[in-house]
A = this chain, B = another copy of it.
Amino acid sequence: MPRPDPEKVAEAVFAALAEPSRRGILSALAVRGPATATDLASQLPITRQAITKHLELLAAAGLVLAEPGERRRIRYRVNAAPMAMAQSYLAALARDWDGKLARLQRSLDATELDAPAPPSGAAAPEPNTPELNTPAPPSGVTAAEMEWRSK
């Protein structure tokens, strides 16, 4: 299993968290513990199918883990691991954009941030995006973010 692209992970996390229904699902799981889609559908004002769809996306982002239980039951529980990558990504962006604010931020979040600072230069551009013409930023932000969706 190759190491996941931090930016892709961050993107998935951001997309997941940008949607209120999904934050609601995550919150319900965090507060009440692992639950099935049916459980969640009884707790939240959307249907089981909608919940399932969201859970699939959340699982793809790594923010929930599916654990098969008794019968056909599948319980989902929250998983904080991808958050670290998303946090790193944000921290790197903030640091890059505004050195002063980033330093302040670092001092404020010194106890929360557990990801090491990405001090290295830009990663190599992905070979499958040849139309990229924006040079990679000197920070951890990679040229991969120049990847445009091919339609």
Contact = CB atoms under 8 A, between A and B. Distances in A.
A130 to B, nearest CB: 10
Nearest to A143: B27
- How many copies of this chain does one complex carry? 2
Contacts of A104: 33-34, 77
A98 B80 contact: yes
A72 interface: no
Nearest to A104: B33
A27 B120 CA distance: 14
Interface string A1-34: 0000000001101110110110110111011111
A44 to B, nearest CB: 6
Contacts of A133: 43-45
A13 to B, nearest CB: 8
The 6 residue pairs across chains A and B that have the minimum distance between CB atoms: A15-B18, A91-B112, A80-B98, A23-B145, A80-B97, A14-B18
24 contacts: A11-B23, A14-B15, A14-B18, A17-B90, A20-B145, A20-B147, A23-B145, A24-B134, A24-B145, A26-B93, A27-B134, A27-B136, A30-B96, A30-B137, A31-B118, A31-B135, A32-B115, A34-B104, A69-B114, A80-B97, A84-B101, A84-B108, A88-B108, A95-B112
